[in-house]
Amino acid sequence: MAYAITQSCCNDASCVSVCPVDCIHPTPDEPDFGTTDILYVDPKVCIDCGACADACPVSAVKPVDILRDGEEVFAQLNADFYADRPERTSPAKHTWEDMGPTVGRPLRIAVVGTGPAASYAARHLLLSTDASVTMLDKSPVPGGLVRGGVAPDHADTKGFASLFSWAYRHPRTSMYMNVEVGDHVTHEELLQFHDAVIYGVGARLDRELGVPGEDLGGVHGAPEVVGWYNGALDVASDAVRLVGERLVIVGNGNVALDIARLVLSEPAALRRTDMPEAAIEEIGRSAIREVVLLGRRGPDVAAFTRPELLMMPPGIEVVVARDDATDEALDAAEPGGKAALLAELPRRSIDLSAPPEPGARLVFAFGRQVTSVEGDERVEAVQIAPTGRPDEAIKVPAGTLVRSTGHRGRPVPDLPFDEVTSTVPNVEGRVIDPATGKPVPGAYVTGWIKRGATGGIGTNRVCAHETVATMLEDGAAGRLRMPPGSRRALGKLLRRRVPELVTRRRMLAIEDAEVSRGQAAGRPRVKFTSADQMLTLARSRR
């Protein structure tokens, strides 16, 4: 009985680290790591020890004999990955977890952010060094992308929260929440109390389309919609209204699929998740029955991952809109590619200028672009044309439009910023001033603000490892300045600067209260959706 890796795979390679027979690939040492949708178990090499299943933070590794509810396909997907892969004559010697040189004194490191990239950096430091870690976040609660970016119905992926909770509770960790770095405290001030600062602040902005009418009501960026259905503190509970019978989403990646699936879901199913009630009620009121995913290019370069599409629940019809170019690409699809997967779906000649047909339906439409948005105060229709042929646009009735065309970072106070890549300039995580070509003292980055908005949650493990290794190399070479201030002095400074400072005890009290609210309602948790609610509870724990 071999094991197989399934849909919720996070690609963080925890399973690779513990496999005694090197049967899980690609590994972080291999060039195709990060390019595959998931990692894969070689069923011919697997010895059924179960170490990978124990190590997986999202419960994605399962014995093939117990796969159910559509997951059976992953047994074959795992085996197929090795069909054309060269056989290995000896197990690989993995070096990607080596931290490099050691530093002759305990370091004090500040980590800005509590999302996956920042939390992986903290874990690496706590597991591999004797460093003390200070974690700071502008939110009163931790989690970043795990809390605010993972679809509510991906319960296994949300299991990452427990992995990182270990770091938050560690005795060498200090937590200071509701702190805006750059406002309440500067980079230079943090260096008065720390040897270095690692920024894992993510990329929360979306990319605009640049078309007329884009500023109308009912046009949303995917980060806003995702924040809305996850109860993000910076998105109002009534920020999204699902108007009309058709939702148009520009983009066809996993986030676009998440939005489509959730909007078309039954409220009863959503009430088994941690989605805020306001979002569930809006979806329940919605008349939307068709979601159209627009791709500027063809089906061979669709951005979604295979597992995300394979796990689309029953009751939602998934079709491909026919046109000559799409049909040609699907008919000529190479095995194993996105086009081959889409070729297995029904193809329909769909008149997008007409009202949608009855039933819940997801439509992939390729080779199309939005040329303008029409309406008085909010979107009423979208002009959609074949890519590169705006004069052939048709008017598509739609009451809601979502841009799901990627994320971009925002400038980080006191650090250089590349407006083209929306990242902080760096070499292997070490921040570089492009004006001088020299490192910015004590500044390091990890995650999307380091490499751009690519890769899923688990990819941040390898990214954070590289950054921490670079920082330790600098420490061993004497390039880090010993801070004059103490940890206690930092706490005093932040208490003076931040009127509503949330320390670890208060942060955990908020977390515990959400879980308790969830238990009372038969749900994983019931989130507080405003900072005021959280801070009121935090005050009671003084």
* Residues that constitute the known binding site for NADP(+): 252-255, 296-297, 308, 455
At 410, list the tokens.
């925002």
Q: Where are the beta strands (DSSP E) in 42-180?
A: 61-63, 108-112, 132-137, 173-177
Number of helices (H), then strands (E), belonging to the chain: the values are 19, 24
Distance CA 219, CA 225 (A): 10
Residue ranges of the annotated binding site for FAD are 117, 145, 181, 448, 455-457
Shortest CA distance to 16 belongs to which of 48, 40, 47, 37?
A: 40
**Phi first, then psi: what are they for 133, rounded to 5°?**
-120, 130
Distance CA 74, CA 53 (A): 15
Shortest CA distance to 151 belongs to which of 38, 264, 69, 40?
A: 264
Strand-pair partners of 5:
61
Strand-pair partners of 438:
433
Q: What is the DSSP letter of 503?
A: E
**Phi first, then psi: what are they for 135, rounded to 5°?**
-105, 130
Q: Where are the beta strands (DSSP E) in 61-131?
A: 61-63, 108-112
Distance CA 56, CA 6 (A): 11
- List C-alpha distances in Å: 478 to 19, 101, 354, 482: 36, 12, 68, 9
Q: Which residue has the tokens 């990646």?
A: 253
Distance CA 408, CA 221 (A): 12
Amino acid at the residue 394:
I
Burial class (CB in 10 A: 0-12, 13-18, 19+), 268: exposed
Residue ranges of the annotated binding site are 117, 145, 181, 252-255, 296-297, 308, 448, 455-457
Distance CA 242, CA 6 (A): 32
- List C-alpha distances in Å: 420 to 316, 324, 338, 521: 38, 35, 29, 46
Contacts of 384 (CB under 8 A, 6+ apart): 248, 294, 352, 365, 368, 369, 370, 371, 393, 394, 396
Shortest CA distance to 467 belongs to which of 482, 447, 441, 438?
A: 447
Shortest CA distance to 92 belongs to which of 9, 24, 10?
A: 24
Distance CA 143, CA 230 (A): 12
